Structure 1
Amino acid sequence: MKLIGAVVLLVCLSGCATTRSADGPGTGGSGPSPSPGAKPAVKKELPWLNVPGGRMKTTLFYGPWQCRREFMNQCQKECGAGYKLKGCMWLADLKFDWEGSLVVLPVPVKAGSRYGLFHCCCNYPELSPEDNAAQRKAWNRFRTSFRKDWSEKFGQWPEQGGVSWPGHHIRDLWHGGDPVDPNNVFPAQPDVHDVYNEQYPACYAGQAPWNTVGPNLPYTDN
């Protein structure tokens, strides 16, 4: 399921008929217990956002972490025929909290969901410098409107010192990632974005730890 679609589904389900947490493709609604040795994640809470029937808050937890088994299996399918999976990187978890009231009854309701963002390092061919530059220009033209649209759906795009956080392309442009696909970009804390850029080559090279499966939940929420 695409990220935007997952949020729309959360709001619809929460506003219609449920008072329990809705599990998503991330770490689960209420969430399992963190794996042994889990450490606090880099965390960013966005402001509450008014949505139909109530309000929603997005919280971002940043890795990168080794991919859990579920994500690694999905990457095996994503690479498919003709490409080989070299590694998998779990980039971040997006946690969505919704509170409002049921449509049929004026009963206060809280619900939640999580969505895991991960990258499959398949041995995709690299673009030429010219094609990569063209993709970068397309992103630069798209960036301002994308941040505005993202803020309207998930909460204000984060800033640091008055400067917007960079947008990270999950499938990087150098390996054919779509520069203007809303589901291929998310806000990354600048220091974390640097780590992503440093570790992507190792993932594509099939190096540890990205070539092996990690724990089911490698971080704590606090």
Structure 2
Amino acid sequence: MKLAGAVVLLMVLTGSETTQGTGGSGPSPSPGARPAVKKELPWLNVPGGRMKTTLFYGPWQCRREFMNGCQQECASEGYKLMGCMWLADFKFDWEGSLVVLPAPVKAGSRYGIYHCCCKFPTRTKAENEAARNEWRNGMRAFRNAWTEKFGEWPVESGKAWPGHHIRDLWHWGAPLDGNNIIPAEPTVHDVFNREYPKCYDGQAPWNSVGPNLPYTDN
């Protein structure tokens, strides 16, 4: 669920294939899978080579391991699990050379982003507006920092994509936490905002487990 630099760091330092979320290039999509909303970012120079980030967007029902993770996460914080929403997959491709092996190397990693709809407390209207202002005041710097780490923050028709808070501000999501914000394609962001209340209310389909790999890459 978190988008910390650990996945990218492991990929860059070891050059090995790592997976989290969709199983990398292993399993084929489940029957009936459809293409995801896809955004391919430009190559980004990183130590030892270059990296490309490709974004795939749902939302989809959570696979079993994500739902199990949410059961544990909610319980550890003392809340009931209402649902789970698989928001996106980030695919990282890296190519370059390793210090220990001065030869061309290619590697890949995939990272699933999902949200646990625990029965969280909510902010008051004033608290929520304060959190939103914190995000508005810091979002330009946040987008710049994200660009340096993953590639250019997506822009459409000259306007930056919205930043989606994985744990929403209303339910005490952190306004500027790098692990809590992803760029979201505008129409997909609208879907996220529309479906979140259903997930928190324990409504279908977010209250049940979905397929292991619900989309194709093309």
Structure 2-normalised TM-score? Answer: 0.96
Q: Which amino acid aligns with 1:208?
A: A
Partner of 2:32: 37
Q: Does 1:209 align with 2:210?
A: no
- Alpha-carbon distance between aligned partners in 2 of 1:28 and 1:98, rounded to the nearest angstrom: 17
Partner of 2:49: 54
Partner of 1:90: 86
Q: 1:136 aligns with which of 114, 118, 132?
A: 132
The alignment covers a number of residue pairs equal to 216
Q: Does 1:115 align with 2:111?
A: yes
Q: How far is the alpha carbon of 1:30 from its aligned partner?
A: 1.9
- Alpha-carbon distance between aligned partners in 2 of 1:105 and 1:132, rounded to the nearest angstrom: 51
Q: Which moved more, 1:41-50 or 1:26-35?
A: 26-35
Q: How far is the alpha carbon of 1:169 from its aligned partner?
A: 0.2
Two-structure CA RMSD over aligned residues (Å):
1.1
Q: How far is the alpha carbon of 1:31 from its aligned partner?
A: 3.1
- Alpha-carbon distance between aligned partners in 2 of 1:117 and 1:140, rounded to the nearest angstrom: 23
- Alpha-carbon distance between aligned partners in 1 of 2:25 and 2:6, rounded to the nearest angstrom: 20
- Alpha-carbon distance between aligned partners in 2 of 1:94 and 1:194, rounded to the nearest angstrom: 19
- Alpha-carbon distance between aligned partners in 1 of 2:56 and 2:164, rounded to the nearest angstrom: 14
1:167-206 → structure 2 map (5 Å cutoff): 167-206=163-202
Q: How far is the alpha carbon of 1:28 from its aligned partner?
A: 2.2
Q: Which moved more, 1:128-137 or 1:99-108?
A: 99-108
- Alpha-carbon distance between aligned partners in 1 of 2:52 and 2:90, rounded to the nearest angstrom: 10
Q: How far is the alpha carbon of 1:105 from its aligned partner?
A: 2.8
Partner of 1:78: 73
- Alpha-carbon distance between aligned partners in 2 of 1:2 and 1:176, rounded to the nearest angstrom: 16
CA deviation digits over 1:16-52, x for unaligned, max 9?
xx4xx222x2112323110011000000000000001
Q: Does 1:166 align with 2:162?
A: yes
Q: Does 1:10 align with 2:46?
A: no
Q: How far is the alpha carbon of 1:141 from its aligned partner?
A: 1.3
- Alpha-carbon distance between aligned partners in 2 of 1:94 and 1:41, rounded to the nearest angstrom: 12
Partner of 1:150: 146
Q: Which amino acid aligns with 2:133?
A: K
- Alpha-carbon distance between aligned partners in 1 of 2:172 and 2:26, rounded to the nearest angstrom: 34
Q: How far is the alpha carbon of 1:142 from its aligned partner?
A: 1.2
CA contact (8 A) 2:55 2:89 kept: yes
Q: Does 1:104 align with 2:100?
A: yes
- Alpha-carbon distance between aligned partners in 2 of 1:2 and 1:161, rounded to the nearest angstrom: 29
Structure 1-normalised TM-score? Answer: 0.95
Uncovered stretches (5+) of structure 1, i.e. residues with no partner: none
CA deviation digits over 1:108-154, x for unaligned, max 9?
11100000000000011111100000000111111011000000000
Give aligned-pair identity as a percent: 70
- Alpha-carbon distance between aligned partners in 2 of 1:216 and 1:64, rounded to the nearest angstrom: 14
Q: How far is the alpha carbon of 1:10 from its aligned partner?
A: 1.4
